[in-house]
Amino acid sequence: MRRTVSIFGSTGSIGRNTVDLLCRQGGAEVYDVKVLTGAGNVTLLAHQAIELKADVAVTAEASRLVDLEAALAGTGVCATAGVDAVVDAANISVDWGMSAIVGSAGLAPTLELAKQARILALANKESLVCAGELVQATCTESGCILIPVDSEHCAIFQALAGGSNSDISRIILTASGGPFNDWTKSQMADATLEQAMAHPNWDMGQRISIDSATMFNKALEVIEAKQLFGVRSDQIEVIIHPQSIIHSMIEYNDYSIIAQLAAPDMRGAIGFALNWPDRPALPVDKLDFGAIAHLNFATPDEDQFPALRLARRVLKIGGLAGAVFNAAKESALDRFISGDISFLDMARLVESVLEDLHIKAGQGSSLDGLSAVMAIDLEAKERGFKWVPA
C-alpha cells in the first residue's frame, strides 16, 4: 500500500526539498499525497500538487483561491484557501507529515498533524519554541513519533542512537556564525538586508537566513533542544563551527562525544526523517575529508550576538517566554526586512519586549492551550511593531 503523506509549507525551501525527495523516491507511484500547502506562490503549489497527484492543495491566502482553482481546473486536485483551511487540512490522517511553514503560523497545523500523523517531521522549530510542552504532550497522547528536521536536532536525534537521554552530559549545538561571524559590531550596525541574507553554507528561506546572521536562529535552536531532549538549560552549549560539517554533538556522561557529520544540505535531514528508520541513499554530496582539511571551532561572542544570551533568559523565565521571544523576533525581522529598523535593533527590540512581558510569560504555560500561546504571540508582536529605537 502506498504511504500517505502531507507537506505543510511545500512551496518553501524545506517544502521544495521535500517534494524533490518524494519525486526522486517514486513520487505519486510510491506516495499517496494527501495535502500540500503554500501561501502566495499558487503557481508552484499547483505545479507540485499536479506532479504528486495530491488530493488537496491549500493556500493560506484566501484571496488566492481563484488563482489556485484556475491553476488546478480539470486536474482532480481540490483547492481550498485560508488560514483555517490549512489547519483543517492537517486534520487528515497520514503516515508521514512534514511541518515546514515558517513562524508561529505553523503552530496550529503542527498540533493537528501531531494528532493525525504517525510520524511528524518537524522543521517548524517555532512550534517547539512557542509551545514545546503542548507539542510533546499532543504527540504522547496520539502516539505520534516526532523526528526533528532542523539539522542540529536531527543530528542529536541520530547521535542518541549511541546512548539514552539520561546519559547526556552536554548537547553541543554547532553554529556556522552566519555571514557576520568575522564582522565587528560597528560593521554589523550598518548591515544591509542583502548582506544579512547571504548565508555562507546553507541555502535556506529568507527569514531563517537573516535569523542565522543575528544568531536568533541558534537562540531558537537552544530552546528547541531543551524542549526536544529534556536536558537542563546549562547542558546546552553553542559552538561556532564555520564549515557546518559537524551538525551537532552529544557528550555523554563518560565524556565520549558522538557527532553527526554530513555536507550542509537540508535534504540529508529531510531524507532521514522521510525514510526513518531506514537509510537509503540520498542525493547529497559525500564528505571528502582530504578536501575539507580543517574543522574550526570558536566560542561565540555574546556581545556580538546577544540573541544567545536572550535564549538563556527565556529558559530561565520559562512558561510562555519562548512564545514571547519568537513573536518579538518575528516582528523585529519584519521591521528589518521593511527597512524600518537596523540590524542591531532587532536584538534590542526583542530584549525590550521580553522584559515587558516576562512576568506574564512566566505565569503562563503552553499546556493552557493553543489560544493562550497565540494570545501572547499577538501581544508580543503588537509590542514589537510599536517599539521605538533609541
Shortest Å distance, C-beta 122 to ligand NAD: 9
Total interface residues for ligand NAD by CB under 6 A? 26
Shortest distance in whole angstroms from residue 124 CB to ligand NAD: 4
Convert residues 136-175 into a mask of x (bound to ligand NAD by CB under 6 A) and - (unbound).
Answer: --------------x-------------------------
Cβ proximity to Mg ion, 205 vs 318, nearer residue: 205
Least distance in Å: CB of 86 to ligand NAD? 5
For residues 299 and 289, give the distance between their C-alpha atoms in angstroms, rounded to a whole number. Answer: 23
Measured CA distances, 117 to 52, 146, 191 (Å): 19, 9, 42
Partner touching 14 among Mg ion, ligand NAD, none, CB below 5 to 8 Å by kind = ligand NAD
Q: Could you tell which of ligand NAD, Mg ion, none binds residue 207, using a CB distance below 5 to 8 A set by kind?
A: ligand NAD
Instruction: Provide the residue type at 123 as one letter.
Output: A
Q: Which residues contact 259 (CB under 8 A, 6 or more apart)?
A: 155, 159, 246, 247, 248, 249, 250
Q: For residues 204 and 213, which CB has a smaller minimum distance to ligand NAD in the complex?
A: 204
**Pairing relation of β-strands 78-81 and 56-59?**
parallel
Smaller CB separation from ligand NAD, 183 or 202: 202
228 touches ligand NAD (CB under 6 A): no
The answer to whether the beta carbons of residues 80 and 89 sit under 8 Å apart is yes
Tell how far CA 174 is from the center of its chain: 15
Asked if 202 interacts with ligand NAD (CB under 6 A), we say yes
* CB 124, CB 106: distance < 8 Å: yes
Write out the binding residues for ligand NAD, residues 55-84 only, by CB under 6 A: 60
For the chain, how far is it from start to end, CA to CA, in angstroms?
61
Site track for ligand NAD across 97-136, x = CB under 6 A: ---xxx--x-----------------xxxx----------
Report residue 277 as a C-alpha cell: 528508520
Residue with cell 511593531: 385
Give whichever of 149 and 352 is closer to ligand NAD, judged by the CB atom.
149
E strand residue ranges, the chain: 3-8, 31-38, 56-59, 78-81, 94-99, 117-122, 145-148, 168-175, 236-240, 246-252, 257-261
Residue nearest to ligand NAD (CB): 12
* 268 counts as binding ligand NAD under rule CB under 6 A: no
Residues, the chain: 390
Contacts of ligand NAD in 288-307 (CB under 6 A): none
Residues in contact with ligand NAD by the rule CB under 6 A? 9-15, 38-39, 60, 86, 100-102, 105, 123-126, 150, 202, 204-205, 207-208, 266
